[in-house]
């Protein structure tokens, strides 16, 4: 049988991270320049159910049975089998290759799960829809970062820009005018779960103060939605920079993120902010196609380990 390949993109949160965990709206878009890719080959001589998992990026090479049941890769396999209503998969080798940096706010975990679910279901002749794929990625995410809002799994499974409110059906978003974003990577790994947990403790200690900050972030996301849909791109830059200031107030920024945001603003970006969980990972800057290269060079000069330029449509 021929090999099966499935992919899922990375993502960035344009507006509303953290506040989205508390029911405020947020905006996320896929980043197709980076992706998780899963290739399945069949091993007809091995016993049914023998699933070998290989990930060149993390150095993993083992059988499903060797992993703890709550390992994210094991969960992706068992939850997919349960969703399909099958007791086991045929003997196969599942190879994961991802160009999405890990623990960097670009959705690598959800993308690996989504690509695995797509490939595994195709391997037994089924197609799960985006909603079903999103749900499995959410369940895996829940295990690993406690109280995920659901924005990552949705934007990655549907692979389109979304306006997202926790617990509500996702709302696809269409940009009235395409716009360009440069993503700058601090190179500092920062697991989202730890930062989300920290924000929760602060919110519990000072609920009124934090609710106010979440409201302000939510209002910015709502305004940004209108700006994106109507193609009012110049307004977006200011909203991004204001969102960053509020994320600083939540204490989820870092010296490295602030330096890259300031560098972007001092070069030609019209707005910039950290994106995702924060304390490390990536930041984003709103640029024009003409200024993208200069801003990217400035970020690399200020310590970014890599940059990605992407267009939102
Ligand atoms: O670090 P990321 O890109 O996975 O983003 C997490 C976004 C948060 O709002 C901080 C958490 C969530 O579940 O929405």
**pLDDT (tens digit per residue) in 12-35:** 999 999 999 999 999 999 999 999
Distance CA 75, CA 255 (A): 36
- pLDDT tens string 153-163: 999 999 999 99
Q: Identify the three-state secondary structure at position 188.
A: coil
Q: How confident is the model at residue 88 (pLDDT cuts 50, 70, 90)?
A: very high
- pLDDT tens string 222-249: 999 999 999 999 999 999 999 999 999 9
Contact 115, 109 (CB under 8 A): no
Cβ-count burial of 300 within 10 angstroms (0-12 exposed, 13-18 middle, 19+ buried)? middle
Rounded to the nearest angstrom, the distance between the alpha carbon of 49 and the centre of ligand 1 is 34
Residue 294 CA, chain-centre distance (Å), reads: 26
Distance CA 272, CA 254 (A): 14
The pLDDT of residue 146: 77
Positive or negative, the CA dihedral 196, 198, 199, 201 is positive
Q: How confident is the model at residue 84 (pLDDT cuts 50, 70, 90)?
A: very high
Distance CA 1, CA 146 (A): 39
Mean of pLDDT over the chain: 96
Residues of the chain with pLDDT > 70, as a percent, come to 100
Give which of 134, 132, 141, 127 is closest to 159, Cα–Cα: 134
The pLDDT of residue 102: 85
277 lines ligand 1 (CB under 6 A): yes
Instruction: Give kind and range of the element (H or E) at residue 181.
Output: strand 179-185
105 lines ligand 1 (CB under 6 A): yes
Distance CA 140, CA 25 (A): 22
Contact 287, 180 (CB under 8 A): yes
The pLDDT of residue 145: 77
Atom of ligand 1 nearest to the CA of 196: 10
Structural tokens at position 21: 């965990």
Comparing 1 with 170, the larger pLDDT belongs to 170
Q: How many CB atoms lie within 10 A of CB 48?
A: 11
DSSP 268: T
Atom of ligand 1 nearest to the CA of 275: 3
Instruction: Give kind and range of the element (H or E) at residue 61.
Output: strand 60-63
Q: How confident is the model at residue 147 (pLDDT cuts 50, 70, 90)?
A: confident
Out of 166, 276, 281, give the residue to mutate to test ligand 1, the one with the largest number of ligand atoms within 8 Å of its CB.
276
Out of 149, 210, 274, give the residue to mutate to test ligand 1, the one with the largest number of ligand atoms within 8 Å of its CB.
149
Q: Identify the three-state secondary structure at position 271.
A: strand
Rounded to the nearest angstrom, the distance between the alpha carbon of 84 and the centre of ligand 1 is 28
The pLDDT of residue 304: 98
Out of 9, 14, 17, 197, give the residue to mutate to test ligand 1, the one with the largest number of ligand atoms within 8 Å of its CB.
17
Give which of 142, 177, 114 is closest to 312, Cα–Cα: 177
The pLDDT of residue 57: 86
Rounded to the nearest angstrom, the distance between the alpha carbon of 206 and the centre of ligand 1 is 21
151 lines ligand 1 (CB under 6 A): yes
pTM of the predicted protein model: 0.96
Distance CA 206, CA 210 (A): 6
Across the range 297-303, mean pLDDT stands at 98
27 lines ligand 1 (CB under 6 A): no
pLDDT at residue 105 tops 90:
no
Nearest-5° Cα angle at 291, 218 to 217: 5
Q: Quick one: how many helices (H) and strands (E) in the chain?
A: 9, 11
Q: How confident is the model at residue 144 (pLDDT cuts 50, 70, 90)?
A: confident
Q: How confident is the model at residue 143 (pLDDT cuts 50, 70, 90)?
A: confident
Structural tokens at position 95: 């190879």
Closest residue by Cα to atom 5, ligand 1, is 276
């Amino acid at each position: 049988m021929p090999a099966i390949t499935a992919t899922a993109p990375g993502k960035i949160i344009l507006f509303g991270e953290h506040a989205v965990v508390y029911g405020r709206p947020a905006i996320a878009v896929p980043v197709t320049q980076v992706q998780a890719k899963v290739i399945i080959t069949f091993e007809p001589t091995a016993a049914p159910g023998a699933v070998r998992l290989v990930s060149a990026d993390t150095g993993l090479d083992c059988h499903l049975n060797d992993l703890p049941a709550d390992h994210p890769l094991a969960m992706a396999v068992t939850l997919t089998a349960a969703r399909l209503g099958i007791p086991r998969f045929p003997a196969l080798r599942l190879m994961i290759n991802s160009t999405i940096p890990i623990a960097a706010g670009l959705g690598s975990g959800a993308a690996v799960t989504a690509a695995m679910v797509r490939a595994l279901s195709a391997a037994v002749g089924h197609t799960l829809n985006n909603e079903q794929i999103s749900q499995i990625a959410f369940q895996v995410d829940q295990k690993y970062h406690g109280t995920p809002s659901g924005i990552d799994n949705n934007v990655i499974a549907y692979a389109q820009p979304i306006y997202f409110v926790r617990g509500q059906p996702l709302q696809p978003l269409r940009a009235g005018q395409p716009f360009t974003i440069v993503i700058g990577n601090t190179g500092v790994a920062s697991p989202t779960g730890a930062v989300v947990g920290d924000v929760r403790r602060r919110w519990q200690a000072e609920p009124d103060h934090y609710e106010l900050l979440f409201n302000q972030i939510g209002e910015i996301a709502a305004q940004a939605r209108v700006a994106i849909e109507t193609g009012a791109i110049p307004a977006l830059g200011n909203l991004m920079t204001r969102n960053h200031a509020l994320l600083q107030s939540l204490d989820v920024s870092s010296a490295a993120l602030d330096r890259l945001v300031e560098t972007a603003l001092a070069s030609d970006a019209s707005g910039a902010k950290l994106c995702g969980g924060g304390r490390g990972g990536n930041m984003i800057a709103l640029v024009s196609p003409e200024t993208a290269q200069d801003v990217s060079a400035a970020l690399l000069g200020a310590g970014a380990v890599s940059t990605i330029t992407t267009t939102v449509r």
